[in-house]
A = this chain, B = another copy of it.
Amino acid sequence: MARIVGGLATSHVPAVGAAIDLGKTQTDHWKPLFDGYVPAQEWLARVDPDVIVLVYNDHATAFSLEIIPTFGIGVAENFPPADEGWGPRPVPTVDGHAELAWHLSESLILDEFDITMINEMPVDHGLTVPLSLTCGKDSRCEAPEQWPHRVVPISVNVVQYPPPTGKRCYDLGRAIRKAVEAYHEDLDIVVYGTGGMSHQLHGERAGLINSKWDTAFLDDLTRDPERLKSIPFLEYVRETGAEGIELVMWLIMRGALGDDVSEIYRHYHIPASNTASGLIVLEPAA
């Protein structure tokens, strides 16, 4: 039987990917941010999961206005890095886990989550930057020819209003946990929630940062997820910037970990380009 052994949430800022790709992680400007990821890299190396279920949002890359899935799951064998206008990031193709992804699809749909099954899905910075950030410094990752972990991507629409509610996201996480626990194979799984924290990328209010709100969100991820579940769309947009709504994806990760969790590590840094960069590592309570 498979089991969820940990959860990790992180911002997925494109400029952070560019800093990695251009070898700038040790500059004065970027070093404090990247140093903050080292303990999470060490944690991931220690836990060494068989699969990462990676919750992210596509940023008008694989999906356009032609078709906008509320929740999607990548059931393919692999997912190529997307060309977001700069050419694809120089990182490996992401290997999926089709058998687990199909199992999750079946279980989630039977459980009344109306998820979209996807075979063709180039993955943008939303998915690849968290992989780069947490891949760590071992030889597999400095110039990785292959990512160290297989990934089941789960996409969430947060670009076109309306996104799913925080409660719906949390409940999806719970359903993922149930599905994982019913999987026939003996797999250790880590769930990632990505995006956020406070940021607004557009309009005259671009650059908004609300570190007090972000810190309370980080605190309550462990302490009071019930509060987080009920935060309405309007509050995310007003308090954390329009693009801060990405934080609902952290609630999918949180829901997947079960009722009680321990916080293993956190890091919070301003700025990452336009964004407050947050990172947290959780484990299910023993």
A interface residues with partner B (beta carbon < 8 Å): 65-72, 105-106, 109-110, 112-120, 160-165, 167-168, 171
Instruction: Write out the residue numbers on chain B whose beta carbons fall within 8 Å of the beta carbon of A114.
Output: 70-71, 113-115, 164, 168
Instruction: Write out the residue numbers on chain B whose beta carbons fall within 8 Å of the beta carbon of A72.
Output: 67
A116–B116 touching, CB < 8 Å = yes
Number of copies: 2
A114 to B167 Cα, complex, angstroms = 13
Instruction: Write out the residue numbers on chain B whose beta carbons fall within 8 Å of the beta carbon of A120.
Output: 66-67
A68–B168 touching, CB < 8 Å = no
A161 to B110 Cα, complex, angstroms = 11
A160 to B102 Cα, complex, angstroms = 11
Contact of A116 among B69, B113, B167 (CB under 8 A): B69
Could you name 18 residue pairs across A and B whose Cβ atoms are closer than 8 Å?
A66-B118, A66-B119, A66-B120, A67-B67, A67-B116, A68-B117, A68-B118, A70-B116, A71-B114, A105-B162, A106-B162, A109-B163, A112-B165, A112-B168, A113-B114, A114-B115, A114-B168, A116-B116
Instruction: Write out the residue numbers on chain B whose beta carbons fall within 8 Å of the beta carbon of A70.
Output: 109, 114-117
Instruction: Write out the residue numbers on chain B whose beta carbons fall within 8 Å of the beta carbon of A119.
Output: 65-67
Separation in Å of the A20 CB from the closest CB of chain B? 30
Of A68, A106, A114, A115, the most chain B CB neighbours within 10 A belong to A114
Of A70, A105, A161, A162, the most chain B CB neighbours within 10 A belong to A70
Separation in Å of the A29 CB from the closest CB of chain B? 39
A162 to B105 Cα, complex, angstroms = 8
Instruction: Write out the residue numbers on chain B whose beta carbons fall within 8 Å of the beta carbon of A116.
Output: 67-70, 116
Since A112-B168, A117-B160 are in contact, a sample of 18 more A-B pairs with Cβ atoms closer than 8 Å, ordered by chain A residue number, is: A66-B119, A66-B120, A67-B67, A67-B69, A67-B72, A67-B117, A67-B118, A67-B120, A68-B117, A69-B69, A70-B115, A70-B117, A105-B162, A106-B161, A109-B164, A109-B165, A112-B171, A114-B114
Instruction: Write out the residue numbers on chain B whose beta carbons fall within 8 Å of the beta carbon of A161.
Output: 106
A165 to B113 Cα, complex, angstroms = 10
A168 to B71 Cα, complex, angstroms = 16
A115 to B68 Cα, complex, angstroms = 9
Instruction: Write out the residue numbers on chain B whose beta carbons fall within 8 Å of the beta carbon of A168.
Output: 112, 114
| A-B pairs, 7 with minimum CB distance | A114-B114, A66-B120, A70-B114, A68-B117, A69-B116, A109-B162, A71-B114
A167 to B162 Cα, complex, angstroms = 24
A68 to B161 Cα, complex, angstroms = 21
Instruction: Write out the residue numbers on chain B whose beta carbons fall within 8 Å of the beta carbon of A67.
Output: 67, 69, 72, 116-120
A106 to B233 Cα, complex, angstroms = 12
A118 to B114 Cα, complex, angstroms = 15
Of A115, A116, A161, the most chain B CB neighbours within 10 A belong to A116
